[in-house]
Chain A
Amino acid sequence: MRKRAPLDLTRSVITAIGVTLLAYVCLRAALTVVRGSYSATTYASQLIFGLAQGGIYALVALGYTLVYGILFMINFAHGEIFMGGTYVGYFVIDACARSGLLAQKPGLALILTAITAMATSVTMAVLLERVAYRPLRRAPRLVPLITAIGASLFYQYSFRGLFGTTVKVYPDVSLHVGRIDLISGRYSIGSLTVRPVYFVVFGMAVVLMAGLYILIQRTKLGKAMRAVAEDKDTAALMGIDVDKVIVATFALGAALAGAAGVMYALYNKQVTHTMGFIPGIKAFTAAVLGGIGNIPGAMLGGLVLGVVEATFPTLLGMDVQLKDVLAFGVLVLVLIFRPTGILGEVLSRKRA
């Protein structure tokens, strides 16, 4: 018992810091609200944007968490897989714009773009698993981590070498349903400006997440993925081809990232070879926030992070430029109180 005293002390100090920070955040937020410096519509529009952005984070975070759940490895090149899909998707949607297809059949053009983007991301991820990660599966954990960083740079510079450094811009898309333009429209409701694209992105994200959840829970592949995540040798003894399941896991995460990339580009139109970095780090943060390896956790973490980023700068009266600092601040705060993330399991219950 005595031996544990220093640890308990550290723990209490950390908790004290956490409580102080939390109290400060609540106080600042309460003050801002009470003072009424901002109207409800400001918060509403921030919340809507936050949910859309959070949906993107969640989709990308799922890629991190799926791979971690099965290989206990952070695929740091996942941001580049998001970038690659978005980038190649640009060429398709640009060609559609030039040929007039985008104007005539915008829905079809978007589907073509999304399919290409997803296929690109899947190809990149599967290649990465096969060439870089599989040979290292039994290596010490630091080795694949460093390899992932190398792979990340490899993909960035490959795209730079192939397509140059000029910024590509997704063309404007008009997709009308009745009188509403779902993608490019801006509508005023009272003092609130609404962009339907945020609802579309959030809705799509929810649909994709629900689809993934059903796949994991109900299908044979999903059950095999859960079995492999828990015990690879035993899964193999049951006749499951573990390598195939691992490839499928990478492919699923990548498909979500590719789809997320196109959705992201609908409102963040600029595409570059470095565009995967920040969303990648944010999505990773979201995955840790929700509890790395936990699928509902990644979904929740993504949405929480998106909303926090969108609303906290105003709530806390800080410069919008500081939103990234706030995002990571929230991560630290959550980890102080729940070291395994919001929905994470207690680590000792998992196998070493």
Chain B
Amino acid sequence: MATLEVLDIHSFYGSIEAVKGVSLTVEEGEIVTLIGANGAGKTTTLNTISGIIKPRQGRILLSGQDITPLPPHEIVALGICQAPEGRRIFTRLTVLENLEMGAFLRRDKDGVKRDLEHVFALFPRLAERRHQLGGTLSGGEQQMLAIGRALMARPRILLLDEPSMGLAPLLVREIFRIIREINAQGTTILLVEQNAHMALSIANRAYVLQGGRVVLSGTAQEIRHNPEVRRAYLGEVS
């Protein structure tokens, strides 16, 4: 059973059509990556799934239920949470308060407590800084917080928008290791990345976006060996 189905969505900023009929599916338990150049429409696609942007056409189904018309907070309640591009942590809330905001809709106090410990175990640096203001964290720590915050919603599907942006290579590898770990623990992941190489190395399947359209899709393996992709996204000189 498909967990998330995006069916031919068209999303606009005013009269600019940023997403021109994207379709994709994410099956339960998968890591699916969405790669593409700057301005390809990756963030717009994620924000349309999250309900921040309403598509002018097309539908988004979660386990068969049409979630397209729902407001963002109800989409979160159904199990889709996003760690947005550029981290967007709440700079004037503490680390702990940021994590609490991720768990905003949850009523199971014990579960939240357990998940908090879980996030602190994944990111020990956050545990040390739990009473520090979000704005005082380093870029890498902020990225950890953004991922941890989204995890606190205990999503069925986690949307990650460029989690490796601006991080040192060592930290990038660390973040990708943790993404895999999160997935191994049962969370389905839709990963948007510029770093196609890393993304393809952990994903099951991939979609390549160009000019608001899906130009290529397949297993990560296939995509990685596609000559076009090698040239355009994996930095290989032909």
Name A residues whose Cβ lies closer than 8 Å to a Cβ of B.
Answer: 220, 223-224, 226-227, 230-231, 233-242
Beta-carbon contact of A233 and B97 below 8 Å: no
B107, chain A: closest CB distance, angstroms: 11
A220–B93 Cα distance when bound, in Å, is 12
25 A–B contact pairs at CB < 8 A?
A220-B100, A220-B104, A223-B101, A224-B101, A224-B104, A226-B93, A226-B97, A230-B91, A230-B93, A233-B52, A233-B84, A233-B88, A236-B51, A236-B52, A236-B72, A237-B52, A237-B81, A237-B82, A238-B104, A238-B149, A238-B153, A239-B73, A239-B105, A239-B153, A240-B104
Note all chain B residues with C-beta closer than 8 A to A241: 71, 73
B135, chain A: closest CB distance, angstroms: 9
B84-118 residues with Cβ-Cβ distance < 8 A to A are: 84, 88, 90-93, 97, 100-102, 104-105
Can you name the residue of chain B whose Cβ is closest to the Cβ of A235?
B101
A242, chain B: closest CB distance, angstroms: 8
Beta-carbon contact of A239 and B93 below 8 Å: no
Note all chain B residues with C-beta closer than 8 A to A220: 100, 104
Beta-carbon contact of A227 and B90 below 8 Å: yes
Contacts A226-B92, A227-B90 given; indicate if A238 touches B97 (C-beta within 8 A).
no
- Whether B76 is near chain A, meaning CB under 8 Å from some CB there, is yes
A236–B105 Cα distance when bound, in Å, is 11
Q: Annotate B61-72 by CB proximity to A: 1 below 8 A, 0 otherwise.
A: 000000000011
Name B residues whose Cβ lies closer than 8 Å to a Cβ of A.
Answer: 50-52, 71-73, 76-77, 81-82, 84, 88, 90-93, 97, 100-102, 104-105, 149, 153
Beta-carbon contact of A239 and B88 below 8 Å: no
Beta-carbon contact of B153 and A223 below 8 Å: no
Note all chain A residues with C-beta closer than 8 A to B101: 223-224, 227, 235, 238, 240
A280, chain B: closest CB distance, angstroms: 28
Note all chain B residues with C-beta closer than 8 A to A237: 50, 52, 72, 76, 81-82, 84
Beta-carbon contact of A238 and B76 below 8 Å: yes
A246, chain B: closest CB distance, angstroms: 13
A235–B97 Cα distance when bound, in Å, is 12
A247, chain B: closest CB distance, angstroms: 14
Note all chain B residues with C-beta closer than 8 A to A238: 76, 81, 101-102, 104, 149, 153
Question: Other CB < 8 Å A-B pairs besides A226-B97, A233-B88, A241-B71, 16 of them?
Answer: A223-B93, A226-B92, A226-B93, A231-B88, A233-B52, A233-B84, A234-B90, A235-B101, A236-B52, A236-B71, A237-B52, A237-B82, A239-B72, A239-B81, A240-B73, A240-B101
A234–B85 Cα distance when bound, in Å, is 10
A226–B97 Cα distance when bound, in Å, is 10
The 3 closest A-B pairs by CB, nearest first: A239-B76, A236-B72, A239-B105
Task: Point out which of B51, B90, B105 has the most chain A C-beta atoms below 10 A from its C-beta.
Answer: B90
Note all chain B residues with C-beta closer than 8 A to A235: 101
Note all chain A residues with C-beta closer than 8 A to B84: 233-234, 237
B86, chain A: closest CB distance, angstroms: 10
